[in-house]
Amino acid sequence: MPSVCFYFEVHQPMRLKRFSVFSIGSETTPDDIYFDNELNRNIFYRISKKCYLPTNKMLRELINKYKGRFKVSYSLTGTFVEMCEKYNLQVLDSFVKLRETNCVGFLNETYYHSLSSLYDNLNEFETQIKMHRNMMKEKFDYTPTVFRNTEAIYDNRTAKRMEEMGYKGIITEGTERILSWRSPNYLYNPVNSDIKILLRNYPLSDDIGFRFSAKGWPEHPLTADKFAAWVSQSPGDIINIFIDYETFGEHQWSDTGIFDFLRHLPGELLKYSNIDFVTPDEAVKRYNPVGKIDVPFAVSWADTDRNVSTWLGNGMQVNCFNELKSLEEPLIKKGDSHLLHVWRLLQSSDHLYYVSTKGMADGDVHKYFNPFKSPYEGFINYMNIIQDLKQRVDKGRKK
């Protein structure tokens, strides 16, 4: 009988202000000139109203209704939780209330939703995971046993390190690139360690995340009973439905019927006697791996390429990534905790996402999310800020 594992990614980056080359070297504190407080607040309010608050409320009602039979899980980034505290405590409260139902699981990830797993050494990566672990303990009294890297970026090295850090499971994309003919509906091991891998079932996940309101899709409109039937007919141990939380009410607006779909989905799924719900923590306890997976190169769940080209696909992105990465050593040495935090906020993968020059279908998705008019403008802004930060780091060193 397949278990269904619902997991939602909840993340917001600290969006950047317009920062001209002429601002480089100013004396103002970085918080005020790097980050666009007003924009961040407005976006956070909007999404709270359209997505976080109504969806949390509905899920809590559903969890109560099905008395322990319906479960969901989340990964909340550190920047998201900071924004809750800064802009809307009500949102944080509603997540804590969900936690208290004991039918909600949580994952660990990097605090800043960063690409630090791709750095030359994994020190920064580990630091950010520990920060996230502490935050989860402090705010939610929860200690996850499963790790999900930024945008499900995954390779052998990361898997091995996660096992060393004590994790029982790790999540990535169920792409044919690593599975070949095999099914994503089972657990696997990496070739180099014993940690268990949970794989996202991308056809079923994208049916909700991307295709739900696509009128040209033959299955439109997607109803809860239709989706439940597909799930019940899927062979395997576990169906992992991993999507952006903002799918509910933000990417798919309320008038697409997404909330009606969500309201009826648990009931429709539970009509099938062979289906139950699990959290990732429960899944790695209950199921055993059926094979090994070898991933020497990084994969992810982003775009149609399912690799890291979304963030490192062109020279401008690599340029920014390298510049930012090179600040690690001098910043750690300097020990300025404020600058360190700023540097880490700049590591959120979103900033590189805005510099992507991908065309075709992916390009449209990128445009939807991009606050800049073009990747070139995104690059100029981000690079100017990195150059300013670099000067601040250097300043202390000379003294």
Partner 1 sequence: MALKVAMIGWEYPPYKVGGLGTHCYWLTRNLADMGVSIDFYMPKTDGIRSDKKNLVFRGIGEEVFPYETVKLTGDFFEKVNRYNELCAKIHGNYDLIHCHDWLTARAGIMLKKKLGIPMILTVHSTEYDRSGWLNPNQWFIDIEKEGMENADIIIAVSHYTCRVLMEKYGIPKEKIRVIHNAITSIGERGRKLKIVLFMGRLTIQKGAEFFIRVAKKVLEIEDCFFVVAGTGNILPELVDLAVSLGISNRIMFTGELTDEELHHIYRISQVYVLPSVSEPFGITVLEALSAGTPVIVSKSAGVSEILESCLRVDFWDVDEMANKIVALLRYKQLRKEIVKHGKEEIKFFTWMRNARKTLDVYKEVV
- State the residues that interact with partner 1 by CB under 8 A: 20-22, 314-316, 318-319, 357, 373-377, 379-380, 383-384
C-alpha closest to that of 136 among 30, 261, 234, 281: 281
CB-count exposure of residue 229 (10 Å: 0-12, 13-18, 19+): middle
By beta-carbon proximity to partner 1, the closer residue of 221 and 315 is 315
Least distance to partner 1, CB of residue 111, Å: 28
By beta-carbon proximity to partner 1, the closer residue of 209 and 375 is 375
C-beta of residue 247 within 8 angstroms of C-beta of residue 208: yes
CA 14-362-228 angle, 5° bins: 90
List C-alpha distances in Å: 192 to 50, 251, 295. Answer: 43, 38, 10
Least distance to partner 1, CB of residue 387, Å: 8
Q: Report CA torsion sign: 310, 9, 277, 136.
A: positive
Instruction: Determine the Cα–Cα distance for residues 124 and 343; give it in Å rounded to an integer.
Output: 11
Least distance to partner 1, CB of residue 321, Å: 11
By beta-carbon proximity to partner 1, the closer residue of 282 and 303 is 303
C-alpha closest to that of 219 among 199, 229, 273: 229
Half-sphere exposure of 354 (CA within 13 A, CB side): 23
By beta-carbon proximity to partner 1, the closer residue of 153 and 316 is 316
C-beta of residue 377 within 8 angstroms of C-beta of residue 11: no
Least distance to partner 1, CB of residue 310, Å: 16
CA 329-334-336 angle, 5° bins: 115
Report the 10 Å Cβ neighbour count for 87: 18
Q: Active-site residue 9, yes or no?
A: no
By beta-carbon proximity to partner 1, the closer residue of 280 and 313 is 313
Query: What is the 8-class DSSP label of residue 290?
Result: E
By beta-carbon proximity to partner 1, the closer residue of 373 and 399 is 373
Least distance to partner 1, CB of residue 33, Å: 14
Least distance to partner 1, CB of residue 383, Å: 6
Catalytic residue among 9, 151, 268, 328: 151
Task: For 299, list phi and psi in degrees, rounded to 5.
Answer: -115, 170
Q: Residue 356 in 3-state DSSP?
A: coil
The catalytic residue positions are 151
